Amino acid sequence: MVRMSPAGQIGPHFSQLLALGVWLGLAYGFLEALEFFVLGLVPGALAWRNGNSAPVFLVAPAFYAACYLLVAVIVALVSRLVPRWRWDIVLAAVLVTLSGYLGASLQGQIFSPLASVILGLGMGAVTIRFMRGRPNLLPKLVRTLPWLVTGTAAVGLVALAAAAARERAAFAALPDSAPRGPNVLLIVLDTQRADHLGFHGYDRPTSPQLDALAAQGTMFENATSSSSWTLPSHASLFTGRPVNEHRAGEFRRPFLGRGFVTLAEAMAEAGYVTAGFSANPFWVGRQTRINRGFVHWEDFYLKPGDALVRTVLGRKIAYELLPKFGEIDIPGRMRVEDINRRFFSWLDGSERRPFFAFLNYLDVHGPYLPPPPHAGTFGGSLSHVGKTIDLGAVTDETQVPPPELLRDWANRYDESILSLDAGIGDLLTELGRRGLEDNTVIVLTADHGESFGEHGMIYHGNGLHRDQVHVPLVIRYSPAVASGVRDSTPVGIHQIPATVMQLAGLSTEDFPTPSLFSSADRETPVLAEVGFRSQVPASWPTSRGWVKSLTTARWHFILHEEGDRELYDLTNDPGESINLAARAEYADTVQDFRTILVRMAPSDFQPRGR
């Protein structure tokens, strides 16, 4: 129980309560930043939405100081009604309870929501007992506020300076002599399925700029992603290894380990200045260790909305409160023009030596919210938008919606492609204006596709059908890559590292998978894999174990760890509507593919059945 002030005395002054709110906000903000920093040192310790970086030491104290000040203003106004109460105890108990709950919620997996609430309430109770016998504590805290402000600001500036120093050190570690090879620009269109693009035969004009790019280079018609969701496919894209080797994205392994050299590391070792710009803060953020080898890396704090969700309270407001009032987009989503601007800004300030740059665009990822002027081009309507930030498998929307809603999703998805396409056109135009067009290898691909009801699935990461793993792949480099070529050979995005190294005139020994332009046997089936995923619907195959597939020029074979098999004739059934696996005339084909898959898979993949 909060005691009243001694007889003849009034409670704390209005200004003292405000100062206490700011003091507690600064203190908790610093502690939260420190918790982010410490957990960030441990691979996989931070959940997928919890990535962070150096600016948190400035942003978190400032954000919480402002939020807690608002609470303090409310308490201070109420205190005028009953001036003799110990409102400092009330305020401190409320804010410490909130801080305890937020701190326990930060990691996202150790404490349940209920446990976090209980922990917060316990800390609030301890605060009441601690302050009741210390009436002089409030003035002492108020006097230390200037020191706390100075201290947290100093720590934040030191953190930023340390991050800048690490980048300078990484640049200084590059070989003195610059390589003579071309620049390399690796473009990943996050969530872009191939068959919604014009150069793959789509009947809507979604991609005029990308169609032109495909005509200027070599386009691989039958490219397969290594997985059907972001982290494992990007890990294969950077290491040249299948998912069962690098194992990024496995259950309880939400990061890329150090077992294999990445493309960025190999390029930096050769003297290239390397830079990455990620619009996907969830699975292409530094918390996944996917940024290994990049001298310069941008993922967080690029927009105010993203800075907000780098704090626990901000994330809860953005993802749990604001959507109820119609705020449904990813907070601070980086659009194509934002990534382009950041890339060229970096390029303007970088040393004139060949670069390897990676650009991840998130424009077509759900929620499908195309910006003007492209919104509505294909009949998309926001009248169907729900009251959640629709990120796919992590939302409650896991059942296939009615046909009219699926059509609207596809319409808005296509409009998002059109918007992204225009931005890619601007990127290519600016490269040409800068005179970089002829001396830059451009590799354009996607990490996975997207389902719109096919095979009873929506979103991605839940299976390996073509709508989720058939991706675009275009390479343009006029000195060495033929233009106007459409190559129908089955290939995989894990072949990109060796291809880039070959075109740059560098050794491919770190990447054993053959280059896309290698003369080696090109009839080898292409492997795709997606592992067990927790917290997804039981109807999804990935809720029950691994799913792996092989793609050839004619066949697509899918094997589930639980024993289910699927076989599709892509020549006659490109939409994979008829599963041939159970037909007697294809028994030998199924058994051959199954034998190959089991031989390629690690020991933990033991499918049941014959």
Between CA 73 and CA 68 the distance in angstroms is 9
Q: Give pLDDT tens digits for 421-467.
A: 999 999 999 999 999 999 999 999 999 999 999 999 999 999 999 99
Question: What is the value of pTM for the model shown?
Answer: 0.94
297 belongs to a structural domain: yes
The SS3 of residue 385 is: coil
Q: Number of structural domains, the chain?
A: 2
List beta partners, residue 526: 551
Q: Which two tokens stand for residue 280?
A: 């996907």
Q: What is the pLDDT of residues 294-317, one digit of tens each?
A: 999 999 999 999 999 999 999 999
Average pLDDT of every residue of the chain: 92
pLDDT of res. 395: 47
Residue with tokens 């610093």: 30
Is residue 367 reached through a cis peptide bond, with omega within 30 degrees of 0 on the bond before it? yes
* Strand, helix or coil for residue 543: helix
Asked if 224 contacts 491 with a C-beta cutoff of 8 angstroms, the reply is yes
Q: Which two tokens stand for residue 374?
A: 């492209």
Question: Which DSSP state fits 473?
Answer: E
User: Are 160 and 183 part of one and the same domain?
Assistant: no
Residue 211 DSSP SS3 = helix
Q: Is 349 inside a domain boundary?
A: yes
Contacts of 587 (CB under 8 A, 6+ apart): none
Asked whether the predicted pLDDT for residue 6 surpasses 60, the reply is: no
pLDDT of residue 240: 98
User: Quick check: is 546 in a domain?
Assistant: no
159 and 186 assigned to the same domain: no
Nearest Cα neighbor of 549 from 558, 539, 540, 541 is 558
Counting Cα atoms < 13 Å in the Cβ hemisphere of 561 gives 20
Identify the DSSP state of 321: I
32-41, 381-390, 516-525, range with greatest mean pLDDT:
32-41
Residues 184 and 264 in one domain: yes
Of 495, 524, 553, the last residue of a domain is 524
Pick the more confident residue, 381 or 309.
Answer: 309
Whether the CB-CB separation of 26 and 61 falls below 8 Å is answered with: yes
Residue 108: how many other CB atoms lie within 10 Å: 15
Q: Is residue 351 part of a domain?
A: yes
CB under 8 A, 24+ apart: contacts of 171-176: 171/273, 171/295, 171/351, 174/268, 174/271, 174/272, 174/273, 174/295, 175/269, 175/270, 175/271
**297's tokens:** 């890396």
**pLDDT tops 90 at residue 599:** no
Which uninterrupted H or E stretch holds 557?
Answer: strand 555-560
* pLDDT for position 384: 59
For residue 355, the cross-strand partners are 273
Domain membership of residue 48 as a residue range = 14-164
The more confident residue out of 157 and 401 is 157
Q: Following DSSP, what letter does each residue of 422-457 receive, concatenated? A: HHHHHHHHHHHHTT-STTEEEEEE-S---EESGGG-
CA nearest neighbour of 279 among 436, 382, 491, 424: 424
Please tell me whether residues 72 and 184 are part of one structural domain: no
Interaxial angle between packed helices 137-172 and 56-79, expressed in degrees from 0 to 180 and rounded to the nearest 10: 160
Domain end: 467, 497, 524, which one? 524
| Per-residue pLDDT at 8 | 46
Band of pLDDT at residue 540, cut at 50, 70 and 90:
confident
pLDDT of 385 over the 90 cut: no
Three-class HEC string of 121-137? HHHHHHHHHHHHCCCCH
* Within a domain: 64: yes
Please check the confidence at residue 521 and state whether its pLDDT lies above 80. Answer: no
* Model confidence band, residue 96 (pLDDT cutoffs 50, 70, 90): very high
Q: What is the pLDDT of residue 432?
A: 97
Rounded to a whole number, what is the distance in angstroms from the first to the last CA of the chain? 69
Average pLDDT, integer, range 90-104: 96
Flag whether 40 is in a domain.
yes
Per-residue pLDDT, 519: 76
What DSSP string describes 27-58? HHHHHHHHHHHHHHTSTT-S-TT----TTHHH
Q: What is the pLDDT of residue 608?
A: 60
Q: In this structure, are 101 and 204 located in the same domain? A: no
The average pLDDT across 35-64 equals 94
Among 246-255, 267-276, 386-395, the range with the most confident prediction by mean pLDDT is 267-276
Name every residue whose Cβ is closer than 8 Å to that of residue 354 and which is 6 or more positions away in sequence. Answer: 178, 179, 180, 181, 182, 183, 184, 271, 272, 273, 504
Q: Measure the CA–CA gap between 571 and 565, rounded to whole angstroms.
A: 19
231 and 272 belong to one structural domain:
yes
- Pairing of the two strands 296-298 and 458-459: unpaired
Say if residues 373 and 419 touch (Cβ distance below 8 Å): no
In a shared domain, residues 297 and 420: yes
Q: Looking at the structure, do residues 184 and 302 belong to the same domain, yes or no? A: yes
- Which residues does 499 contact at the CB level (< 8 Å), separation at least 6? 443, 475, 515, 516, 517
Q: Which of 98-112, 216-230, 501-515, 564-578 has the lowest mean pLDDT?
A: 98-112
Give the pLDDT score at 165.
Answer: 98
| 566 bridge partner residues | 558
194 and 154 inside one domain: no
Task: Indicate whether 229 and 329 sit together in one domain.
Answer: yes
Predicted pLDDT of residue 323: 82
Give the list of residues 6+ apart from residue 302 with CB closer than 8 angstroms, or none.
332, 334, 338, 342
| Pairing state between β 223-224 and 470-471 | antiparallel
Give the angle 45-282-392 at the CA atoms, nearest 5°.
120
Same domain for 395 and 454: yes
- What is the mean pLDDT of the segment spanning 470-476? 99
Q: Is residue 548 part of a domain?
A: no
- Lookup result for tokens 């596709």: 449
Residue 1 pLDDT level (bands cut at 50, 70, 90) = very low
Instruction: Write down which residue in 164, 198, 223 finishes a domain.
Output: 164
Residue 271: predicted pLDDT = 96
* Helices 137-172 and 14-40, axial angle in degrees (round to 10): 30
For residue 210, which of 494, 437, 419, 485 has the smallest C-alpha distance? 419
CATH number assigned to the domain comprising residue 475:
3.40.720.10
Residues 184 and 159 in one domain: no
Q: Report whether pLDDT(292) > 50.
A: yes
Higher pLDDT, 497 or 109: 497
**Model pLDDT, residue 605:** 61
Q: Which amino acid is at 123?
A: M
pLDDT at 331 over 60: yes
Q: Residue type at 40?
A: G
pLDDT of residue 394: 47
Bond into 373 cis (ω within 30): yes
Residue 93 in domain: yes
Enumerate residues 6+ apart whose C-beta is below 8 A from 590. 557, 565, 567, 581
